[in-house]
A and B are shown apart, each in its own frame.
Chain A
Amino acid sequence: EDQVTQSPEALRLQEGESSSLNCSYTVSGLRGLFWYRQDPGKGPEFLFTLYSAGEEKEKERLKATLTKKESFLHITAPKPEDSATYLCAVQEQGGGAQKLVFGQGTRLTINP
């Protein structure tokens, strides 16, 4: 069964203090790995899709990378508005089903 584990569970940073969030996964065949941002009481907001090991995607202060067993979300010089829960999800190859299997998320707080 697909498994996604995110670490740390919670992370508190000062504004401008860069860091990385980890997502490790086990899946028989990876179709795609997805990063989402979720604010309290809101729906997840799509950030990135990564398809194969070695791939990188960037958006503003965020950069996502992928290896065969894990993905990292690097946050450079974060601002308070980057505070949110970041969710990682995987989609397995095979069949027409496209369900996402989510990790428990990393709750990120950026202090001004």
Chain B
Amino acid sequence: DSGVTQTPKHLITATGQRVTLRCSPRSGDLSVYWYQQSLDQGLQFLIQYYNGEERAKGNILERFSAQQFPDLHSELNLSSLELGDSALYFCASSLSSGGAREQYFGPGTRLTVT
């Protein structure tokens, strides 16, 4: 158990809908990261937050957005869903935003868009 929690575990929804994925980082960790894992693309970085502020963006679609709240939990919002958005979405956390810090991953949310 990494200490990172994610809800829900599974999500099945229809095209065009909007969903919210939630993540709670390990106790004491200030950085939160979101990754998408699909069969053909592997693990892809989406976005990083540090202590409530956006720190870095990867190949995140405009239909996707995220935020980190004062209690440090984070939410990833996916809207106008398409079949290709079906994937595993992982949240990870690390202690700080400086230096080479290992990231601890949550169990993931499996999103299926039908």
Interface residues of A (CB under 8 A from B): 31-32, 34, 36, 41-46, 49, 51, 87, 89, 91, 95-105
Contact = CB atoms under 8 A, between A and B. Distances in A.
A76 B72 CA distance: 40
Interface of B is mostly: strand
Contact of B103 (A42, A46, A105): A46
Contacts, number: 72
Given A97-B56, A103-B42, A105-B42, A49 B105 contact: no
Interface string B61-92: 00000000000000000000000000010101
Interface in B94-111: 94, 97-108, 110
Interface of B: 2, 4, 31, 33, 35, 42-45, 48, 50, 55-56, 58, 88, 90, 92, 94, 97-108, 110
